[in-house]
Amino acid sequence: MEIDPENIILTENVNGHPVSLMMIEVWDGLYTPVGVRKPEGSGPFPMVLLASGNGGEGMSWIRDAMKNKAYTIDRLIEAGFACAWTRYRTEVELGYNSGGSLIRDVRQGREMFNRSPLEYEDQIAISDYFKSVPWVDEDRISMIGMSHGGEMVLKITSEYDGLAAAIASEPASHEFLALKPDDSAFINEKTGLRNIEEMQMAEVIKVRNRIDLPLAEKRIESIKTPILVMGRDEDHLQGIFRTSYDLLVEGGHNAEWISYDHNYHGYIFPIRGEDGNYIINDVQQKAIKFVIQWLKDKLNLK
């Protein structure tokens, strides 16, 4: 089969389903991988972009996710949504705080930026790409972001109104809230980067006392997209998750909150076990059903 070099799409069978592996051009002319599934028919379908973690790993990550993290996709497909597991460039430590807004100019007839695009801006480029695809309903593109992907939801919607609805699941929104880490954080002597893996931020009051509240409120002010924030009851970052929601509501935005008691960070995206079956319990099934119904309600789908 001949492949168009400027429109790279490969199809492979994964768990009995056709999966389109695509390379999508982002703002600086580089390409980022996505894996796509859609219901039968010609559409146009509402589209859900899935994002988890802090990026990198390329097409190998996408292929693994389409094989082993497809439970939620299966349920979304059954509900009539097209879905894409997305990947984006690796997160830059404090790049959002220190880089400032991206300015796009022209020099000698070509684009010139004041900085490299960041990972959340790749996600905006992906969304805009799918708005041009005939089988996608361009007015019903949404996103489910987990962990750093949840923080990306806040970064994206503060600058971009192209999502009809978005879900920030366990959003690790340290940077977006301009949070000062506690004493558990330290500098990796080999790299000079912060290690914040053990940071304890379970209490809302502790989080609120350590964020730059005026800056966080300014960032949230421009958000127009309906957002569902999902917490995890015993997570050491639950205070960050809840504060992200609280500031949205205090700013008068369309936001909802729900939290589940589960031992797995990323419960909204069950993984396949070594026996080939998904590791999932009633809590996850309930959460996923809630997410799908929430999206249908926000997108006015039957």
CATH code of the domain containing 180: 3.40.50.1820
β-bridge pairing 227-232 and 31-37: unpaired
Burial of 142 (0-12, 13-18, 19+ CB in 10 A): buried
Q: Cβ distance 278 to 73 under 8 Å?
A: no
User: pLDDT of the chain along its 302 residues, tens only?
Assistant: 678 898 999 999 999 999 999 999 999 999 999 999 999 999 899 999 999 999 999 999 999 999 999 999 999 999 999 999 999 999 999 899 999 999 999 999 999 999 999 999 999 999 999 999 999 999 999 999 999 999 999 999 999 999 999 999 999 999 999 999 888 877 888 887 777 877 889 999 999 999 999 999 999 999 999 999 999 999 999 999 999 999 999 999 999 999 999 999 999 999 999 999 999 999 999 999 999 999 999 999 98
Number of domains in the chain: 1
Domain containing residue 294? 9-89+116-298
pLDDT score recorded for residue 191 = 83
Q: Is residue 240 part of a domain?
A: yes
Q: Which residue has the tokens 């001949």?
A: 2
Rg over CA atoms, the chain: 19
Cβ-defined contacts of 276-285 (< 8 Å, 24+): 278/71, 280/71
CB atoms closer than 10 angstroms to residue 85: 25
* Nearest Cα to Cα of residue 244 among 220, 279, 264: 220
Does 186 reside within a domain?
A: yes
Alpha helical stretches, state H, the chain: 58-68, 71-78, 95-99, 119-131, 148-159, 204-208, 213-221, 238-250, 282-298
CB-CB contact of 284 with 262 (8 Å) = yes
Determine the pLDDT at residue 199. 86
C-beta atoms surrounding 219 within 10 Å:
21
**Within a domain: 209:** yes
pLDDT of residue 42: 93
In a domain, 174, yes or no: yes
Q: Which amino acid is at 139?
A: D
Q: Which pLDDT score, from 0 to 100, does residue 1 have?
A: 60
In this prediction, residue 220 carries a pLDDT of 97
In a domain, 133, yes or no: yes
Q: What pTM does this model have?
A: 0.95
User: Which pLDDT score, from 0 to 100, does residue 185 have?
Assistant: 78
Sequence-distant (6+) residues with CB within 8 A of 47 are 81, 82, 83, 84, 130, 136, 137, 140, 141, 142
Query: How far apart are the C-alpha atoms of 255 and 270, rounded to whole Å?
Result: 25
